[in-house]
Amino acid sequence: MRIVRAVAWVVIVAIAAFQAYAQRYAVSPDGISYLDLSDAVGNGRLSGLVNLYWSPLYPFLIGVGRLVAGGGPAVEVPVAHAVNFAAFIGLLAAYEYFLFPVLELAAATPRSLLRGVRGAAVAYALFGFLALTMTPLELTTPDVLAGAAALLSLGALFRLARAARGHGRAHAVALGLALGLGALAKSFMVPWAIVCFATLVVVTRRRGAAQTALACGVWAAILIPWCAVLSHQAGRLTFGDSGRLTYVWYVNEQDAPSLGGVPPGARTASSDAILPGVGITGDAPGTDPMWLDPLRWNAMLTPHWDLRQQLGTLKVFELFYLQQFTPLVFLIFLIVVAPFGTRRKAWQAGWIVLIPALAGLLAYAMVVSTARYIMPFVLATTLIVLATIPVARRFVPWLALVGLAIPAGLESLDMRTAAGLGVVAALLGGVLAGVLVPARRRILWMLAVAFAALVSHVVLAPLGADVLPFPVLALVAVFWILARGAERDDRAESFALRSELAMAVVLGLIFVIRFENRLSADFTALARAASPKWGNVSVRIAADLASHGIGPGMRIAVIGPHAEAYWARAGRLHIVADVPRPLVDRFWGLPAAQQDSLIAQFAAAGAAYAVASMPPSGTPAAPVDSRWTPVKFGGWVRPLGAP
C-alpha cells in the first residue's frame, strides 16, 4: 500500500505540474474577474474582495501569490496556475482523507473491487483521471478548491459515521472547516452544507448533538462574518447571488452570458436606437465591468419558478451526464448483478456519502452543470459503489440482461447521446469477445478484447442514433443467451469472471484514450506557450497596443467579445463599451454615419480608443477606413479623442 501511495503521488503530482506549466498562460473570462479582485490584496484594501457574485478565497490566494512572486502582468496568469497547482495538492490530500476509510470498508467487503493493493491502485487511478480531466489546471476558477472542500467534507462525514461513541471531535472540526472554507471558495457550498449537516444529525442521533453542534459552530464562525459583509453591501440578507443569477440565466432563460451578448443593464436607449444590444458601462470599475460585477448589470432580472423550464433544464443535464459519463453508467451493471442481500448492506455502509454526493449532482442538474462543478460528487459516488458492491461470482441471466439493458436504454433515449451509445457498443463487443475467445494467454486474450471493442465501435458507431440502438440491443440479447448457456453448462462462474475482466479491460481502454486526449491538449498548449509569437499572447497583444498609444489605465471600446479580451487585463485597460460577438457583422455593416454616431457614444462614455478584435464573418480583414489602424495580432484600433 505504501508503494502504491508513493507511486501515485509521484505520478499524479508530476502530471498535474506538467499540466499547470503547459497551460500557464491560459486564462478565462472568470479568470479576468478573479485577477481584478486579487488586486485588492496587493493594494492592501481587502474590502475589494467583497463581491456578491464572485467568492473571495480564490482571488485572495492569487493575490498572495502575486505578492510573493512579484512582477507585473507577465507573471500574474502563471501565478494563478501556480495557485491551481497548490490547490491540486490540497485536493489530493483531501481525497486521501476520504479514501483511507473507504479502503478500510472495502477490505471488510468480500470481493470488493477496491480490496488490497490493486484496489488502492484503482482508487488512485480513478482520482488522477477524473481530477485531471474534469478539473484541469488550465481553468482559472476555484473549482479545485471547492472540490477539495467537498471531498474533505465527505471524508469527515464518513469518518464520523464510523467513529465510536465519544470520538470524532477532530472530524467534526474538519467538517466545519471544510464547509466554511468551501463557502468562501464557492457559494454553492452553503446550501450543500445544510444537506451535510442534516445527514450528520441522522447518523449521530444516538450519540447526542455534540458533534453536529461542534461542526456547525466552526462552519458558522467562518460563514456568518462573510454573510454579514455581503448582506451589508446588498442591503438584504444574502450569502451571495451567483446561484440566483445562474438560475435566471440558465433555467428562466434570460440573457445568459454564454450566448455572447451584453447584460440588459449595460444597454442604453441611445445605443439601442442605432444597434440594439450594444453595452456601455462608462466609468464602472474593472477590466470588464460587465463580468466583474454581474449583479449590477443584471439587477432587473428576477428568478421565477416555471415547471416546464425546470423539467427542460433537468432533461438537458440528464443528457449531459449520460454523454460525459457513459463508462460510469456501467456501475449500474455491477449493482444489478450483485449477489442478493449485498445491495442493502452496501447502502447501509455508504449512504452517509451517497446522499450528499447525489444531492450535489441533482442540485447542479437543476440549474447548470459542467464537469468541473460535479467532479467530487462523481468521484465519491463511484468510489463508494466500487468499495461496497461485491463482484458477482456468477450471473443470474435475467439480471445480467437488465444490468446491460439499462445502460443501453439510457444512452438510446435521445439522438444526442449517440456517442455514448457508441461507447456502449464497444464495451459490449469487448465483453462478448471476452467470453468467446479462449483465455490460454492473458495478454493475447486482453488484446483480443480490446480489438473487438475497437472493431465494434468503428463498425457500429457510424450507424447513427436512429439505427444504432437496434444492434446494441441485439448484442445485449446475445450476451443474455450466452449467460443462459453458461449456467446450463455449469460454466457460470467462469463466464462471470471473464465478462467482468473483459468489461474492466474495455473501460480501462476508454479511460486511457480519454486521458491521452487530455494530455494531447496539454502538449499542444506547451508548444504554444513556448512559441515566440503566441507564448503569453495576451501580454504581447497588450504591448503591441501600447506601441499605438493604448496604455495602462486607458478606457477603451471593444468591437468583439468583451469577456474574451484577456489582453485588456494584461494591458491594465478598462472596457467601457462593447459590441458583442453576435452583433459584430451588423456593426461593420452600419452606414458610416450611424457607425460614427455609435462610436461617438463610446467616446462620450470615456473610451479613448476603439479596439476591433473581430472582422466581419468570412473576410480576412475588416473593410475599415483609414481611421482604423491594423495591429500586429489581427485587429484594428481607432483613436476617439481624449478620455
* Tens-place pLDDT, residues 576-610: 999 999 999 999 989 989 999 999 999 999 999 99
Rounded CA gap, 609 and 590, in Å? 19
The DSSP code for 590 is S
Q: Is residue 584 part of a domain?
A: yes
Average pLDDT, integer, range 24-47 = 94
- Percent of the chain residues topping a pLDDT of 90: 73
Which of 157-161, 414-418, 486-490, 614-618 holds the top average pLDDT?
A: 157-161
Return the bridge partners of 557, or none: 577, 610
Average pLDDT, integer, range 441-456 = 91
User: Last residue of some domain: 484, 513, 542?
Assistant: 513
486 vs 318: which has the higher pLDDT: 486
Q: Helix, strand, coil shares of the chain as percentages rounded to 5?
A: 70, 5, 30
Please count the residues of the chain.
Answer: 643
124 burial type by CB count under 10 A (0-12 exposed, 13-18 middle, 19+ buried)? buried
The C-alpha cell that represents 261 in the structure block? 451578448
User: Last residue of some domain: 443, 478, 513?
Assistant: 513
Domain housing 629: 261-300+531-643
The C-alpha cell that represents 382 in the structure block? 463511484
Going by C-beta distance under 8 Å and a sequence separation of 6 or more, which residues neighbour residue 352?
157, 158, 161, 199, 203
Among 148-157, 284-293, 333-342, 436-445, the range scoring the smallest mean pLDDT is: 436-445
Same domain (yes/no): 339, 447: no
Same domain (yes/no): 211, 292: no
Which residue type occupies 258?
S
Q: Is residue 318 part of a domain?
A: yes
Quick check: 155 and 140 in contact, CB under 8 A?
Answer: no
Q: Which residues of 306-330 are buried (b: 16+ CB within 10 A; e: fewer)?
A: eeeeeeebeeebbbbbbbbbbbbbb
Rounded CA gap, 45 and 114, in Å? 49
What is Dmax (Cα atoms) for the chain? 90
3 state SS of 267: coil
Same domain (yes/no): 176, 133: no
Nearest 5°: phi and psi at 84?
-55, -45
Going by C-beta distance under 8 Å and a sequence separation of 6 or more, which residues neighbour residue 269?
none
Q: Is residue 158 part of a domain?
A: no
Q: Is residue 608 part of a domain?
A: yes
Quick check: 424 and 408 in contact, CB under 8 A?
Answer: yes
Which tens digits make up the pLDDT trace of 168-212?
A: 889 999 999 999 999 999 999 999 999 999 999 998 887 878 899
Q: Flag whether pLDDT at 415 surpasses 80.
A: no
Rounded CA gap, 23 and 135, in Å? 13
Same domain (yes/no): 43, 124: yes
How many domains, in total, are found in the chain?
Answer: 5
* 514 C-beta neighbours (distance < 10 Å), count: 12
Q: Is residue 146 part of a domain?
A: no
Q: Flag whether pLDDT at 642 surpasses 50.
A: no
Same domain (yes/no): 624, 555: yes
Sheet holding 629-630, edge to edge: 279-280, 574-579, 555-559, 609-612, 636-639, 629-630
Q: Flag whether pLDDT at 388 surpasses 90.
A: yes
Q: Is residue 149 part of a domain?
A: no
Same domain (yes/no): 17, 126: yes
**How confident is the model at residue 621, as a pLDDT?**
61
Same domain (yes/no): 249, 374: yes
Rounded CA gap, 255 and 264, in Å? 7
Q: Is residue 509 part of a domain?
A: yes
The DSSP code for 390 is B
Average pLDDT, integer, range 412-431 = 83
* 507 C-beta neighbours (distance < 10 Å), count: 19
User: Last residue of some domain: 478, 513, 548?
Assistant: 513
Q: Residue 410 — very low, low, confident or very high, per pLDDT cuts 50/70/90?
A: confident
Same domain (yes/no): 561, 468: no
Which tens digits make up the pLDDT trace of 109-167?
A: 999 999 999 999 999 999 999 999 999 999 999 999 999 999 999 999 999 998 766 57
**How confident is the model at residue 583, as a pLDDT?**
94
* 589 C-beta neighbours (distance < 10 Å), count: 12
HSE (side-chain half, CA atoms, 13 Å) at 193: 29
Q: Flag whether pLDDT at 464 surpasses 80.
A: no
Same domain (yes/no): 246, 381: yes
Which tens digits make up the pLDDT trace of 256-273?
A: 898 899 999 999 999 999
Q: Flag whether pLDDT at 319 surpasses 90.
A: no
DSSP string, 94-136: HHHHHHHHHHHHHHTSTTBTT-HHHHHHHHHHHHHHHHHHHS-
Rounded CA gap, 120 and 4, in Å? 7
DSSP string, 286-324: SSSHHHHSHHHHTTT------HHHHHHHHHHHHHHHHHH
Return the bridge partners of 444, or none: none
Q: Is residue 155 part of a domain?
A: no
The C-alpha cell that represents 517 in the structure block? 486526449
Same domain (yes/no): 341, 250: yes
Same domain (yes/no): 382, 441: no
Q: Flag whether pLDDT at 633 surpasses 90.
A: no
Cell match 466581419: residue?
A: 616
The C-alpha cell that represents 170 in the structure block? 477532530
Rounded CA gap, 2 and 199, in Å? 33
Strands (E), 356-420: none
Rounded CA gap, 572 and 542, in Å? 8
**How confident is the model at residue 643, as a pLDDT?**
40
**How confident is the model at residue 571, as a pLDDT?**
95
3 state SS of 270: helix
Quick check: 576 and 281 in contact, CB under 8 A?
Answer: yes
Rounded CA gap, 225 and 46, in Å? 14
Going by C-beta distance under 8 Å and a sequence separation of 6 or more, which residues neighbour residue 131?
12, 88, 91, 92, 95, 147, 375, 379
Rounded CA gap, 122 and 134, in Å? 18
Contacts 24+ apart (CB under 8 A), 514-517: 514/129, 514/133, 515/129, 515/132, 515/133
- Percent of the chain residues topping a pLDDT of 70: 98
Which tens digits make up the pLDDT trace of 72-119?
A: 899 999 999 999 999 999 999 999 999 999 999 999 999 999 999 999
Same domain (yes/no): 556, 489: no
Helix (H) or strand (E) holding 280: strand 279-280
Among 122-131, 333-342, 519-528, the range scoring the smallest mean pLDDT is: 333-342
Please provide the average confidence, as pLDDT, over all residues in the chain: 91
- The alpha-carbon radius of gyration of the chain (Å, integer) is 27
132 vs 412: which has the higher pLDDT: 132
